[in-house]
Amino acid sequence: MAGRNVEVILRTDIEGLGHKYDVVRVRPGYAWNYLFPKGLAELATEGAKRHLQAHLSQIAHKLAQEKSAAQQLAEKLSQLRLRLPMLAGKEGKLFGAVTPQQIVTLLGEAGYTIERRQVHFPIPIRTLGTYEVQIRLHREVVSTLTLEVYPAEEENA
């Protein structure tokens, strides 16, 4: 079995590997030492694949509703313009970097519930300016919102 990949069914989305219910091939050590013990995947036996197909046909309607809700939320988020005060040096270089948790907090204040793992920066934000931030709402729905990073001193002025 050494050197041969095994097929697994993902139980959750895993960045860089696949989405929930995908059947993917991984190295045996990764499957047995990480994915299975953490409950992130199960071995893709023929019986498990048949069960998955039956389950997917049952929940297809629910998945379509989730995608529709994600698309509606994506439209609202794409029109948002968030403002984030940050401490910065004279050249506009931030002391630190903007984190996904800061975006989650700003969205929470605006009335949206987003998880930190859904927030992605195309490039790390380490200077003042205006940026686009991606929010992955669904496996097929990504929203882009505008983030303005401004000097924290402006608040006091």
What are the pLDDT digits (tens) for 53-109?
Answer: 988 888 888 888 889 999 999 999 989 899 999 999 888 899 889 999 999 999 999
Q: Could you give the CA distance from residue 117 to residue 95 in angstroms, rounded to a whole number?
A: 23
Quote the CA–CA distance of 142 and 74 in Å, as a whole number.
7
Task: Give the model's pLDDT for residue 1.
Answer: 44
Predicted structure pTM score? 0.69
| CATH tag for 74-155 (out of 3.40.30.10, 3.40.50.2300, 3.90.950.10, 3.10.430.100) | 3.10.430.100
Quickly count: other Cβ atoms within 10 Å of residue 133's Cβ.
Answer: 22
Domain ranges of the chain: 6-66, 74-155
Which CATH architecture describes the domain 6-66? 3-Layer(aba) Sandwich (3.40)
Element (H or E) spanning 82, and its range? strand 81-86
